[in-house]
């Protein structure tokens, strides 16, 4: 079988695996929409009040998008790797022409498609519910693709190192929750202690937030520079994640 055929078959298997898990579908599509309804409609955002959610609604678009770009790849790919380890599937895959990086690339393709659709629905709801005034920049597509790829790579690494699926979920949440709120998403840097602000540069999600915000809301930023950093981090994460996948179980 050709490489294209292997990727196609592996991607199809990954897509069917996702659709069979109703919990995964719920958290990918419905959970982010609930977050928007809660924080966008019930806890209304608006400039002038000070504190958290004091910025215009458009400022928080990267934060809402980060919910799916961050959480879904980490948990889905990490759990998939853990399931393959527990079922001795990597040992079986080692007897086939499918390489480890091809398997991870196929998983990433499926996540990009699923999360891209979820992000599109999320953006539409954001505009309707919060009245966010944003620019629908074509740069949103590479930002979402690079962000998903980045956290797919990290998810693969978590799945390869965690001792169980429960361990994957616990580790993913322990990583994702701090990143979600400490990466210039919902909390502006001005709200954080001065001594902590340099640490924002260490979060890969910061470059997603800055870039998306510069492309859709704040034109004073540089989206291309942040996109370049994000792509570099994504390539590194996928390479490390593929190397971490076990050859045998």
51-70 pLDDT per residue, tens = 566 778 888 889 889 988 99
Structure-block tokens of residue 30: 């419905």
Higher pLDDT, 29 or 153: 153
Using the predicted structure, report yes or no on whether residue 41 has a pLDDT greater than 70. Answer: no
pLDDT at 108: 93
Q: Where is average pLDDT lowest: 44-48, 188-192, 209-213, 231-235?
A: 44-48
The 3-class SS string of 42-110 reads HCCCCCCCCCCCCCCHHHHHHHHHHHHHHHHHHHHHHHHHHHHHHCCHHHHHCCCCCCHHHHHHHHHHH
Looking at residue 198, the DSSP 8-state letter turns out to be: G
pLDDT digit string (tens) for 87-134? 777 777 777 777 888 889 999 999 999 899 888 888 888 888 777 788
* Residue in this structure with the two tokens 């393959």, named with its chain if needed: 84
Interval 199-218 mean pLDDT: 93
Taking alpha carbons only, the member of 225, 65, 228, 210 closest to residue 148 is 65
């Amino acid at each position: 079988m050709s490489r294209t055929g292997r990727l196609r078959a592996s991607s199809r298997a990954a897509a069917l695996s996702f659709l069979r898990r109703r919990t995964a579908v719920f958290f990918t599509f419905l959970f982010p929409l609930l977050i928007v309804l809660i924080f966008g409609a019930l806890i209304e955002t608006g400039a002038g009040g000070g504190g958290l959610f004091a910025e215009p609604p458009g400022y928080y678009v990267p934060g809402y998008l980060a919910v799916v770009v961050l959480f879904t790849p980490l948990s889905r790919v990490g759990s998939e790797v853990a399931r393959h380890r527990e079922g001795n599937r990597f040992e079986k895959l080692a007897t086939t022409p499918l390489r480890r990086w091809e398997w991870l690339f196929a998983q990433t393709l499926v996540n990009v498609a699923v999360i891209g659709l979820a992000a599109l629905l999320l953006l539409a709801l954001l505009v309707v519910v919060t009245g966010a005034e944003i620019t629908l920049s074509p740069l949103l597509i590479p930002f979402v693709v690079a962000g998903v790829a980045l956290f797919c790579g990290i998810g693969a690494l978590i799945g390869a190192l965690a001792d169980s699926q429960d361990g994957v979920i616990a580790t993913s949440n322990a990583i994702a929750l701090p990143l979600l709120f400490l990466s210039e998403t919902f909390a502006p840097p001005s709200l954080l202690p001065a001594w902590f602000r340099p640490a924002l540069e260490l979060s890969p999600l910061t470059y997603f937030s800055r870039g998306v915000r510069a492309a859709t809301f704040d034109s004073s930023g540089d989206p291309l520079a942040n996109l370049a950093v994000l792509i570099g981090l994504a390539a590194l994460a996928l390479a490390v994640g593929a190397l971490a996948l076990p050859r045998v179980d």
